[in-house]
Structure 1
Amino acid sequence: MPRVALYQARSGIDPAANTAALVAAVATATAGGAAMLFTPELSGLLDANRERARGHVVAEADDRTLAAVREAAAKQGIWISLGSLALQAGAGRFANRGFVIDPSGEIRGRYDKIHLFDVDLPTGERWRESAAYRPGEAVTLVPGTPVGALGLTICYDLRFPALFARLAEAGADTIVIPAAFTVPTGKAHWHILLRARAIEAGLFVVAAAQGGHHEDGRRTYGHSLVVDPWGETLLDMGEGDTPHLAFAEIDLARIAEVRGRVPALAHRRPIPAI
């Protein structure tokens, strides 16, 4: 039964400091017996000031955080789901890109966030992710990880169940949802949506999240979760300002058990047009 580690971060505006924290998390996860480490969205840089952030956002081949995490994976011999990094995507745009890295340090999968967070919240918070980021156009499933076939999503994708259905139909055993959820939306919807996606797809959901007050002024919800195919919460890392790791066991046999009890995935039919 694979043991996984989740890193609940409080990433800031200094990529070097964030990278050092990630490398330390890799070592801690390995020492704790994890076969795979999961990190949050924007693990390398979390900065709402786009002009300041632009000086740190580089192409994938030049990103020092990605290089350091790949090196750490190879050194420790551990799989890593690097939630996402902000990277140059051409024409002055960024990509919010997640990675799956194997124990040799090789990149086994990439995913650019498809759904971009453009909202005005009742608290006065206003987010326009599309002002800087280019949406992804491809769905990514990475076979052969310690948690089976791993489907990749990022944060706001959580609200679009068709993406999860597509990954489940393609054979996903686990879907990763790295996030930097706001506190108002987190309190209202985070636990409900994560459990719903796991239940609908009949698989595991692993959601490493940012948590606490950040250098750029934002506050994120935390509550990194692991949810099983029946919707049971196996791990909830809570709120708080202190980055930390926690561990959970993933029993992949649970997928067949749950799908045998409620075979909703097998019962799906095309929906007629209205």
Structure 2
Amino acid sequence: MSLCLPVTPHITLPVGLTKSGRPQQCRSLRVPRRATVSAVYSVMAAASSVRVAAAQMTSINDLASNFATCSRLVKEAASAGAKLLCFPESFSYIGARDGDSLKIAEPLDGPIMQQYQSLARESNIWLSLGGFQEKGKDDEHLCNTHVVIDNEGNIRSSYQKIHLFDVDVPGGMVYKESSFTEAGKDIVAIDSPVGRLGLTVCYDLRFPEIYQQLRFQHEAQVLLVPAAFTKVTGQAHWEILLRARAIETQCYVIAAAQAGKHNDKRESYGDALIIDPWGTVVGRLPDHLATGITVADIDLSFLDSVRTKMPLAKQRKPLDFWKPASL
């Protein structure tokens, strides 16, 4: 289920059950002013699920301005009942010139990240911060790091982008991320209130092997894809690739996105999406360039049903199955 903000009246329903079958807590869910009966039942069905949100924004070369935008979106997500809000790659900063990102790069315990930790704690919400400029081993390199913060402001895990964007986009830009970025080496998954999260960043999306590993070796249920896809590649492949990753892994996919023109040289495609394990888009902003959030409900019982009816985990072949037979 996906809701478009703003919405008006609300109803209070139980969220989750204890082992004895009693409601664990209550949550206030908003219902459109002229909701149909079916819409009300959709909201009621979502009461047994966990709400998440994906952000869409246009970051610039101003840390304070980007933080102000993120703060506003965090408040909107918390008000909508989301337990996790996902921000796009480079959420805190996009430089106007080559080398700008290196100048502002900081360790994860620096003041920039501490601001976002406070934001999570104050709003009582988990944050997925995709593509933070983490200071590298020397002044010439940084790490493109996806950081997950819990609702108490603690850094729960971080993932350094493995696949770096070294491309000459047809009809677009030439980009060599490896010239200033250290590639990560480790696949990362982490438990959260919305399920087991698999962490990736942007260009990773084109490499299905990492998502297969996250699902079948690391038991991920929700794949996070914070991104800043170019306009050219986004138009051609963004939604197709995201839906493919959801279908082939039978996971939810949350894809936060940079959108629009950041400066004279750089433009992002936008279109933040939330996709269910059947490949259906369940969350999307009406305007793929607007700043805002889309919210949807993660239903792990639906995920389990999809996996039970089509048991890919049992049917997939081990890697050594594909080795050529000896002559």
Task: State TM-score, norm by structure 2.
Answer: 0.80
Structure 1 contact 49–216 (Cα < 8 Å) conserved: no
Q: What is the alpha-carbon distance in structure 2 between the residues aligned to residue 106 and residue 215 of structure 1?
A: 33
2:122 is equivalent to residue 75 of structure 1? yes
1:31 equivalent to 2:79? Answer: yes
Q: Counterpart of 2:197?
A: 150
Partner of 2:50: 2
- Cα shift at 1:238: 5.2
Q: Is the 8 A contact 1:221 1:239 kept in 2?
A: no
Question: Which letter maps to 1:56?
Answer: I
Q: Which residue of 1 aligns with 2:308?
A: 260
Following superposition, the deviation at residue 48 of structure 1 comes to 5.5
2:210 matched to 1:160? no
Distance 1:63 1:131, change over 3 A: farther
Q: Percent of counterpart pairs with the same letter?
A: 38
Alignment of 1:101-112 (within 5 A): 101-112=149-160
Aligned to 1:85: 132
Shift of 1:210: 0.4
Cα distance in 1 for partners of 2:301, 2:189 equals: 19
Structure 1 residues not aligned, in runs of 5+: none
Shift >4 Å, 4+ stretches: 238-241
**Which residue of structure 1 lines up, in the alignment, with residue 21 of structure 2?**
none
Structure 1 counterpart of 2:209, which letter?
A: A
Instruction: Tell me the distance in 2 between the aligned counterparts of 1:197 and 1:266.
Output: 18
How far is the alpha carbon of 1:59 from its aligned partner? Answer: 2.2
- For the Cα contact (< 8 Å) 2:271–2:288, is it kept in 1? no
Deviation, 1:25, is 1.6
2:294 aligns with one of 246, 257, 273: 246
| Structure 2 equivalent of residue 191 of structure 1 | 239
Tell me if structure 1 keeps the 8 A contact 2:61–2:95: yes
Assess if the C-alpha contact under 8 Å between 2:172 and 2:232 holds in 1.
no
8 Å CA contact retained: 1:222, 1:238: no
Match for residue 50 of structure 1? 98
1:112-127 pair list within 5 angstroms:
112-127=160-175
Pairwise CA distance, 1:55: 2.1
CA contact (8 A) 2:272 2:294 kept: no
Aligned residues: 272
Q: CA deviation digits over 1:94-130, x for unaligned, max 9?
A: 1000111111100111000000011111214101010
Confirm or deny that 1:207 pairs with 2:247.
no
Q: CA deviation at 1:89?
A: 1.0
Contact conserved, 2:198 with 2:220, CA < 8 A, in 1? yes
Describe the superposition over 1:169-199 as per-residue Cα deviations: whole angstroms up to 9, x where unpaired: 1211101000000011111111111011011
Letter in 2 for 1:202: Q
Q: Report deviation, 1:240.
A: 4.8
Greater Rg by CA: 2
One-letter amino acid of the counterpart of residue 57, structure 1: A
Residue 60 of structure 1 aligns to a residue whose secondary structure is: coil
- Equivalent residues of 2:96, 2:263 under 8 A apart: no
Structure 2: state its 5+ residue gaps. 1-48
CA deviation after TM superposition for structure 1 residue 263, in Å? 1.2
Counterpart amino acid of residue 323 in structure 2: A
Task: Using the TM superposition, give the Cα deviation of residue 217 of structure 1 relative to its aligned residue in structure 2, in angstroms.
Answer: 2.6
Asked if the contact 2:269/2:289 (under 8 Å) is kept, the reply is: no
- TM-score norm. by structure 1 comes to 0.95
